[in-house]
Amino acid sequence: MYIKMKNNLSFIKFINNSLINLPTPLNIKLTWNMGSLLGICLIIQLISGLFLAFRYSPDINLAFKSINLIMNESWNGFLIRNIHANGASLFFLFIYIHIGRGIYYKSFLFKNTWIIGTLILLLLMMSAFMGYVLPWGQMSFWGSTVITNLMSSIPYFGNSLVQWIWGGFSINNPTLTRFFCIHFIMPFIILMLTMIHIFFLHFTGSNNPLGINSNMMKIKFNPFFTIKDLMGLMVMIIMLIFMIIWLPYFFMDSDNFILANPMVTPVHIQPEWYFLFAYSILRAIPSKLGGVIALMMSIMILFFIPFMNLSKMKSNQFYYLSKLNFWFFFINNILLTWIGMQPVEMPFIFIGQMLSIFYFMFYFLSPIIDLLTDKIIN
């Protein structure tokens, strides 16, 4: 009994030190709210996805019908499905802001936290891709066909790898079943990695806009920052309600409301908006293998950022060239997303190639600019 009470007290003390009395830098901004909002998004996606799984049938003859059944016949099924679909868009919006803030204020210097976060991003993108296949509409089928076929560019065993993923010689019932299983399990893996991410964050402490040691200027997380987080949560809920009530299909492709037909190819195959920047980089390379490598490196390069830093300063707050470089990178990503929506023809091909070059140039120029600025200042 004594041991049980001691364990309970230890757990309460851990929660108290992690969420209530956690020492937090006094000067962090609203962009630091994204972490808590991402946690809420993950919980929303887990709960809504669980309810959708009760009525979904991972069979190519039933999947599309089961989605219609959820939308039209199930009690509040349309609401749950729209929350899940639009919640994914909010999830990626917040995680891109979260990563952008980390790059701008050099949070990547906390290497363990950053690497786990990047791994979470990769798993999230994988889970979102597999979830996009599940409705079994035209864009789901052809989008998954295009993306999985990219692996055939791998020398020697590429074709065998594609057939192994498909479970046959084309995307069929085994593919849909295994995609559904992986999509269902993946969020729980992400949840576990999120806990590790938070553990490392609490172990090292949060970064702050000035990039200085803030041990002498920290305050308790509660109530000062819980109020900020609650305000961010209210804004997120308002955004989600607006999306699911007024614009529930704004981010969905109209072709995905048509049953998948292997004999009819859509005029313009494109992924969801949050993958368009990477899709533009893929299209920019004429070589299939080169495009796949560029696509993978557009995300994998985030793993190497902590080891590329050459500056002594731990924030870009006072580095005006670095700030200019970052906002140029931000605009470049928006343009890459726009290019991904356009047909594969001139001048969009050329523009996409230039933007792809600028995308990778940012990661290599940033440490050089910081180093030069350091030398000028010192």
Residues annotated catalytic, as ranges = 202, 206, 228-229, 272
Cα angle: 74, vertex 80, 84; to 5 degrees: 140
d(CA 155, CA 132): 28
Annotated binding site for a ubiquinone, which residues? 202
d(CA 102, CA 111): 11
- Residue 218's H or E segment, with its range, is strand 218-220
Annotated binding site for heme b, which residues? 84, 98, 183, 197
Cβ-count burial 306-319 (b if 16+ within 10 Å, e if not): beebebebbbbbeb
SS3 140: helix
Cβ atoms within 10 A of the Cβ of 342, count? 17
Annotated binding site, which residues? 84, 98, 183, 197, 202
* H helices present in the chain, as ranges: 2-15, 34-55, 63-72, 77-104, 111-133, 138-149, 158-166, 173-204, 224-245, 276-284, 288-300, 305-308, 320-341, 348-377
Q: What residues contact 333, with CB distance under 8 A and at least 6 apart?
A: 277, 359
